[in-house]
Chains A and B, each alone.
Chain A
Amino acid sequence: MSEFLQLVFSGLTVGAIYALIALGFTLIYNASDVINFAQGDFVMIGGMGTVFLMASGLSLPLAALIAVVAAVGVGLLLHRLAIEPARGASPVTLIMITIGASIFIKGVAQIVFDKQFHSLPAFSGDAPIPIGGATLLPQSLWVLGTAIGLVVALYLFLEHTLVGKGLLATAANRLAAKLVGINVTLILAMAFGLSAAIGALAGVVATPITLTRYDIGTLFALKGFAAAMLGGMGNPLGAVVGGLLIGLLETFGAGYVSSTYKDAVAFLMILFVLFFLPRGLFGGRSVERV
């Protein structure tokens, strides 16, 4: 039982990180129909930025803040310089643009930073908290708390602010949004900035657990993408559930089946789900018009 609980704890912790990355995918996908493969690299920028800013003598909160702002800058540049000019391109072209961006960001990161693994000290100590025979690391609470906080904040922003509603309107129908006077370009830029901020924050809180390196974004992007697809692309609730599910599946797969194949467990599960629910768990059952 205690082993089971232990796996649940670690599954939820990694799952929360995947959920945040999946939320980033969802935000950008909804606003612009683009799958942004550079999403994982925002996580890397958040983590690596904080590590290197702290090494230069800044305090953790200040370093984290600057790293997140830097990631937002990269997100806005990505939108302005790569996505905007390619408006109207096919999905495959857009996928390749963001993959190119991801390779580019990794390439710059290995020059600006280095090729080593880095970590951050846990924010509030390493003393494990015993719960029901299992233990929970304080950093896991940071990860889960950040994830819950961001999801709630995002919900309030989307449902209760004018700008948030503008984003939802743009997601629902871009032309109609434009006709009622919404600045669609600004909204799209905001979706990229917001996704970058969410990803970078996830990177900051996750680094004490997962370590970070210039190329860590690829795996995060794959898992986040998988989580978003599992939940049903474009559905924020689906993204959160998909992320947590993948985290749990992976940890249970590693705990009870084989740790070498933990990545395979997640992807096999996705193939399985897509086989029976081709649009994911929470995907609409919409009929494509011809």
Chain B
Amino acid sequence: MLGKALRARYTPLLVLAALMVLVPLVSTSSFHLRVAALVWIFALAALGLTILMGYAGQVSLGHAGFLGIGAYTVAISPVRLGLDPLLCLVLGAAVAGLVAYAVGRPILRLKGYYLAIATLGFGVIVALVLHSEAEITGGPDGMAVSRLSLFGWRVAGATSWYWVTAGALLVGALLALNIAASPTGRALRALHDSEVAAAGTGIDVASKKLAAFVVAAVYAAVAGGLLAAMNGLITPEAASFSHSIELVAMVIIGGLGSVFGTVVGAAFLVVLPQMLTALQEYEQAVLGLLIMVFMIFLPQGIVPSIRAYLMERLP
């Protein structure tokens, strides 16, 4: 019975929804809710990478670049174009998708480490542009972001943001689970195992890879837009190399290719630094050590490892 539930497609979604309802019952502290909202946002960004890396097996070390594009679109367009912030969220996703399409066509021909350096280069360039074009982006100090309103309702306060981000993540998770079960998802998994074999069965490898890249960019851009609107401030730090690394670490620590694992990985990497602020000096050392330990001893990730353990023991 339980074993069957573990295999069901929407189980991760139900567990996630239950968790989302549970958190505000355990604590109503606005600090805790804010941290939880950050978890939902980063999980959303990392979900895109789960599709790209976990399903399709393609590395991206510059994914925070798309997060930055989404965030800055939400920050800049209300000021420059007078657009509604909610519309800017959609616009950011569209811009990131277009950029991913344009950049992805040439660089997705590359494999392994070459793809890693190409995506890394892309991320570095985006961060550099955000950093240097001070007249538009505010430079290293970043810029203020106007409040988001959903159909006349101004989103403000930790509780509102908690539910908005939770809702966005649920929609994202639902889409990711459906993509996994769709023919495209199966095609992506096929080319993960062997591109040549996938091509041999008639899968258009290049276009499937590109699709995964664009979808991943859209996820990151929406997350970036939400992050900017929630914080009311955005800095080029959002698009930095270390943020790209954190996104990849979330996907791998939680479990490569697992939707629920991605949320666990995001929770791990968002909550941990908050707990370590007491030992601020040691924060980086502990973080580095944890990433190493997880990669060495639990390379499958937290969730798939637990799942495999349970599957063996449950009927």
Q: Interface residues, chain A, CB within 8 Å of chain B? A: 35, 82, 85-86, 89-93, 95-97, 99-108, 110-111, 218, 222, 225-226, 229, 233, 260-261, 263-264, 267-268, 270-271, 274-275, 278-280, 290
- CB–CB A107/B132 < 8 A: no
**Interface contact B132-A104, CB-CB below 8 Å:** no
> Given A111-B285, A261-B128, A290 and B197 touching (CB < 8 A)?
yes
Is A85 within 8 A of B124, CB to CB?
A: no
A229 CB to nearest B CB, Å: 5
Residues 125-148 (chain B) with a chain A CB within 8 angstroms: 125, 128-129, 132
Q: Which of B112, B132, B245, B284 contacts A91 (CB 8 A)?
A: B112
Asked if B286 and A100 sit within 8 Å, CB to CB, the answer is no
Q: Whole-angstrom distance between the alpha carbons of A100 and B246 in the complex?
A: 10
Question: In the complex where A85-B296, A270-B121, A274-B110 touch, is A104 in contact with B241 (Cβ < 8 A)?
Answer: no
Interchain CA distance A90-B285 in the complex, whole Å: 24
Judging by beta carbons under 8 Å apart, are B284 and A233 in contact?
A: no
- Residue among B287, B291, B296 having the largest count of chain A Cβ atoms under 10 Å: B296
Interface size counted on chain B using CB atoms at 8 A: 47
Decide yes or no: A100 and B128 within 8 Å by CB, A92-B252, A107-B282 being known contacts. no
List 20 other contacts, CB 8 Å, given A100-B288, A226-B117. A82-B296, A86-B296, A89-B296, A90-B299, A91-B113, A93-B299, A96-B245, A96-B248, A100-B290, A100-B292, A100-B295, A103-B288, A104-B292, A107-B287, A229-B114, A263-B128, A264-B124, A264-B129, A280-B114, A290-B197
Whether B169 is near chain A, meaning CB under 8 Å from some CB there, is no
Q: Which residues of A contact B61 (CB under 8 A)?
A: 95
Tell me the interface secondary structure of chain B in the complex.
helix
Query: Known contacts A91-B112, A274-B107: does B194 contact A290 (CB below 8 Å)?
Result: yes
Closest Cβ–Cβ distance, residue B252 to chain A (whole Å):
6
Whether, in the assembled complex, B88 has its beta carbon less than 8 Å from a beta carbon of chain A, the answer is no
> Is B109 part of the binding interface, using a Cβ–Cβ cutoff of 8 Å?
yes
Once the chains bind, are A35 and B113 in contact (CB under 8 Å)? yes
| B194 cross-chain contacts in A, Cβ below 8 A | 290
Contact of B118 among A85, A100, A104, A274 (CB under 8 A): A274
Whether B270 sits at the interface, judged by CB under 8 Å, is no
Contacts of B197 in A (CB 8 A): 290
A89 and B292 in contact (CB under 8 A), knowing A96-B248, A267-B125? no
Q: Are A89 and B295 in contact (CB-based, < 8 A)?
A: yes
A275 to B107, CA, bound (A): 7
Chain B residues whose CB sits within 8 angstroms of the CB of A107 once the complex forms: 282-288
- Give every chain A residue within 8 A of B287 (Cβ-Cβ): 103-104, 107
List 12 A-B residue pairs with CB atoms under 8 Å apart, sorted by A's residue number: A91-B112, A93-B295, A95-B59, A95-B61, A104-B287, A218-B242, A222-B120, A264-B129, A267-B121, A271-B106, A279-B114, A280-B114
List the B side residues contacting A91 at CB < 8 Å: 59, 112-113
Contact check, B106 vs A275: say whether CB atoms are below 8 A apart.
yes
Chain A: minimal CB distance from B293 (Å): 8
- Contact, CB under 8 Å: B282 / A111: yes
In the bound complex, residues from chain A placing their C-beta under 8 Å from that of B121 are 226, 267-268, 270-271
Q: How far is the CB of A226 from chain B (nearest CB, A)?
A: 6
Question: Is the beta-carbon distance between A229 and B113 smaller than 8 angstroms?
Answer: yes
CA distance A101 to B287 in the complex (A): 10
Q: Is B181 an interface residue (CB 8 A)?
A: no
Chain B neighbourhood of A89, CB < 8 A = 295-296, 299
The answer to whether B113 and A233 touch across the interface, beta carbons within 8 angstroms, is yes
A96 with B113: in contact, given A222-B124, A226-B121 (CB under 8 Å)? no
Residues of the B chain whose Cβ atoms lie less than 8 Å from the Cβ of A111 = 281-282, 285
Q: Do A104 and B248 touch (CB < 8 A)?
A: no
In the assembled complex, the CB of A117 is this many whole angstroms from the nearest CB of chain B, namely 17
Closest B residue to A280 using CB positions: B114
The 9 closest A-B pairs by CB, nearest first: A104-B288, A107-B285, A107-B284, A100-B291, A103-B288, A267-B121, A100-B292, A260-B132, A97-B295
Contact of B252 among A93, A233, A278 (CB under 8 A): A93
For the complex, what is the distance from the CA of A226 to the CA of B120, rounded to whole Å? 10
B151, chain A: closest CB distance, angstroms: 40
Once bound together, how far apart are the Cα atoms of A289 and B132, in whole Å? 45
Q: List chain B residues, Cβ under 8 A from A90.
A: 299
B119 CB to nearest A CB, Å: 10
With CB as the reference atom, state the residue of chain B lying closest to A89: B299
Residues of A within 8 A of B196 (CB): 290
A218, B128: Cα distance in complex, Å: 15
* Min CB–CB distance B55 → chain A (angstroms): 14
